[in-house]
Amino acid sequence: MSVALGITRPPLVRSIPIHHPEDLIARLPQAPPYAWVHHQEGLVGWGEAARVEVPPGPGRFDWARRWLATAFGEAHIDDDVHVPGSGPVAFGSFTFDPDAPGSVLVVPRVVLGRRNGRAWLTTVGEAPIELMAPPRSPGRIVYGDGSLTAPGWQHAVARAVDEIRSGRLEKVVLARDLVATAEHDIDVRILLERLAAAYPDCYTFSCAGLVGATPELLVRHTGEAIESLVLAGTTYRGAGPAEDKARAAALFASAKDRHEHACAVASVREALTPLCASLTVPDEPELLVLPNVQHLASRVQGRLADGASVLDVVAAMHPTAAVGGTPTGVALEVIRELEGMDRAGYAGPVGWIDARGDGEWGIALRCAYVEGRRARLFAGCGIMGGSDPAAELAEAQAKLRVMRYALEG
């Protein structure tokens, strides 16, 4: 019996080559979608061959890896494609706080994949017949405060600055939430379509109600090779090319933003060094330009020493200083003291893993939890000793515009 996959006999998992779907997201049926799409490549899925709530605690990634080994090991795999993402795949979302419940892994019954000029279809057992109804607009959107009002959140930022200046820590990331209520039930597919079209440089994702477009790649694992994109340090887009260039120059010259970025890169280096036979970390950041903001970015690349799976790397890296702070333990304490909310999956790892241990995982930024007509939107800012509460609030509002656009069109 295949207990993990919930099927009374070992399932057949079949991956076959197909003609290129022009748009992966457009092929999603009305069923709750799973997605990881970047520049029209990636994976989308639907149906549930298996779903599990990962128990909270410090060993949750080890538990998840063991569960996946059982689930994938019970399957008969017929894979004619043999690329990362073919064969059985699980989508996952892990909570930011390891002690918080809500982490989930799902093995879809159907997955469509597209990578490097190849496309494929994977099915687990008999593929379900799903309704291909067009996505419906959520209609009018009404917004309300989340856990803190805007003045309340600015006060939390000011308190965080005091903690940093006192020497308790170097940096902390504070998140803000906003509640949206729609006229109609929110069809996640329309959010995915809008996000993928407007933010192709981001990773558009959907897993168990968590949907968004993150610019931050936590790790890409292909064989022994791994890659991570570290983002920290942010400024707005300008009104035109000249203002864009001036803002970018000011970002590179900002001691506060450069220190914030250095903290994030150092945390990634520290996490990856024990796992890697070789690791390349750039001396200087580059600029990642998105439609709404510009980030300092560093691409870190390495080769694993012992063939660890992508979840092993995720476990070592989360939480990075880019979403938690420095030092990590103290930053988590300050987050719990000041944010006044449960982040759930916001700023937690989200992505996919296949039976080979390959996969891609991002940090769930620029995202929302969607349930019925309600969506809870999230954004966060890195707080340093020189942070200004009003400026941080403006940055959070700029980041919230990503999901507001997805809802409003």
Query: Catalytic residue positions?
Result: 171, 216
> Could you give the 3-state DSSP secondary structure of residue 375?
strand
Sequence-ordered strand ranges (E) for 189-333: 203-207, 210-214, 217-222, 225-236, 276-280, 286-289, 293-304, 325-326
Nearest to 112 by CA among 48, 68, 46, 50: 46
232-257 CB burial, b ≥16 within 10 A, e <16: bbbbebeeeeeebeebbeebbebebb
C-alpha dist (Å) from residue 218 to 150, 263, 344: 29, 15, 18
Q: Are 19 and 85 in contact (CB under 8 A)?
A: no
Q: H-helix or E-strand containing 334?
A: helix 328-338
| Strands 12-17 and 76-79, sheet pairing | parallel
Tell me how many degrees the CA angle 377-313-16 measures, rounded to the nearest 5: 85
Q: What's the CA gap between 203 and 216, in Å, rounded?
A: 8
Q: Are 298 and 326 in contact (CB under 8 A)?
A: no
Q: Residue 373: CB partners within 8 Å, gap ≥ 6? A: 138, 181, 182, 183, 184, 185, 186
